[in-house]
Amino acid sequence: MHRAAREADLAPLTNLATLRAEVAFVQDLDSLDVLYDKKGDEVRPIASISKLMTALVIAEAKQPMDDILTISDADVDRLRYSRSRLAVGTQLSRADMLHLALMSSENRAAHALGRYYPGGMPAFVRAMNDKARALGMRNTHFVEPTGLSSDNVSTSRDLVKLLRAASEHKLIHRYTTDDKYKVTVGRGRQLVYNNTNRLVGNSKWDIKVSKTGFINEAGECLVMLARIDQRDVAIVLLNSSNHSRIGDAVRLRTLLVENENKLAML
């Protein structure tokens, strides 16, 4: 188990610290009751949480998932110079690109998915925003598919709607909750990728959809739809610091299992 998650699990309920996430929203998706709301309507950059909408657009476009996409120079991040192990010229299937974008937050893969969309990147971004409007995400706007731009913004309340829509696609469930994934590139070289959410491998969690994110303007972000205490619960944490998004999620789960009324203690 990840160190931060293990330490948070051991924290006594009688000594709970305030949630470190600046924005937090927890909703029971069975009853639609809002269980916790901390700045739920505040518009903020959402970093790589954006890739959930990228995945939703790809899933609903029904393009062949076995089509081969090629990483090009256009996919290289020249805004933040984020690292990638997918060199220019790397060829992978659309399915593998989506898998890496969701599970490991691979920015070049996410950008390539948008570039190969019918009509190219402008059409893809329009589709992202059209889908946001269709879902009732009134305070959400996208300018690109990776989340590297701080102009990709939303609210935690809106992101619950995105989580619910994403959970309807088995592919998104699988790709966001795989612990590891291996791809073959070049002349048979294998690359092993890990999930950016350490809780995925935690036996205490039954996670249906998960996505992490980080850019400086957004802070550490985490959204999850998880089965907790026999109900589906959406957890959205924005602008945490360091590993505190994991600790926050664990504290919230503990309170829900023990007694949801204890959320008022946070």
Cβ atoms of 7 and 244 closer than 8 Å: no
CA angle 118, 124, 128 (to 5 degrees): 140
User: Could you give the count of Cα atoms lying within 13 Å of 246 in the half-sphere of its Cβ?
Assistant: 18
Instruction: Tell me the catalytic residues.
Output: 48, 51, 105
Nearest CA to 253 among 243, 262, 244?
A: 262
User: Could you give the count of Cα atoms lying within 13 Å of 140 in the half-sphere of its Cβ?
Assistant: 31
DSSP string for 82-115: ---SS-TT-EEEHHHHHHHHHHS--HHHHHHHHH
Q: Is 211 annotated as a binding residue?
A: yes
User: Could you give the count of Cα atoms lying within 13 Å of 152 in the half-sphere of its Cβ?
Assistant: 26
The binding site for substrate consists of: 211
